Structure 1
């Protein structure tokens, strides 16, 4: 989701990417090089009239009980990124948020996946 959905030049907008991980499954935030798991990565693509501010803000991961050197996400998580409207214009601007990840449970790991969500924000002003 993008908040607010309408903005003017100079405004800051927050992009939120909500991830729901099924019970018993996890995605990885940090994995030592000696482990085979794939960590999650986030990407943000913006229309020319929008600019990234900083990096993705991520909730604190939890240590994986079977190996405290591995950090994971479980359940519902929300990742946010701030962006700024650069100049006046009108019409829709596009924001595309992508997460790539590997999901595992106690028995198996699925193939790495990538999911994207494209959102629009209306820019007002002249």
Structure 2
């Protein structure tokens, strides 16, 4: 039942974001910037690396926040965890967004089914959210991820990694 609810939420999310019209050139620029955004290689002592950036539309009245993560092979973070499981779901982190009005929810990569109703993320991930600029702030945006990462043998303590981005 929880799996059905999860899929329904994903379907609703896809429908809502598909209805929002964004300039095609802007979306293409965001897609290109997402692919080009470099993330340090993860390593055994630090299996998740994160980077973030913003992309502006041509008229500078909209922007997209991109959070990109790279997870070491054999490790994962949790996209969805049923209430009866002890693991911690990831969350995107976005702070200091005064002056920005969200246009979309976060666009997340598709999760992978794992076990016991759990869904995970592995490999390279891109999370994107679009905003209208109402007023430019002098404070940098703080963007990143909060997550718990595990492999087949162990889980590490929950961690948060953020990047400060000046507008």
The 2-side partners of 1:68 and 1:62 are apart by 12
Deviating above 3 A after TM superposition, structure 1's stretches of 4 or more consecutive aligned residues are 5-8
- Whether 1:82 aligns to 2:148 is no
Aligned counterparts, 1:29-68, within 5 A: 29-64=79-114, 67=115
Number of aligned residue pairs: 115
- Whether 1:108 aligns to 2:154 is yes
Q: Relative to structure 2, which stretch is displaced further, 23-32 or 38-47?
A: 38-47
**How far does residue 56 in structure 1 lie from its aligned partner after superposition?**
1.1
Partner of 2:16: none
**Structure richer in strand, relative to its length:** 1
Question: What stretches of structure 1 of length at least 5 have no aligned partner?
Answer: 122-126
Question: What stretches of structure 2 of length at least 5 have no aligned partner?
Answer: 1-52
Give the TM-score normalised by the residue count of structure 1. 0.81
8 Å contact from structure 1 (residues 49, 93) kept in 2: no
Give the TM-score normalised by the residue count of structure 2. 0.62
Deviations 1:42-87 (A, max 9, x none): 12123433222232110110111xx151100000000011111114
**Structure richer in helix, relative to its length:** 2
Pairwise CA RMSD of aligned residues? 2.1
The 1-side partners of 2:160 and 2:101 are apart by 23
**How far does residue 98 in structure 1 lie from its aligned partner after superposition?**
2.9
The structure, 1 or 2, with the larger RCO (C-alpha pairs under 8 Å, 6+ apart) is 1
- Whether 1:27 aligns to 2:77 is yes
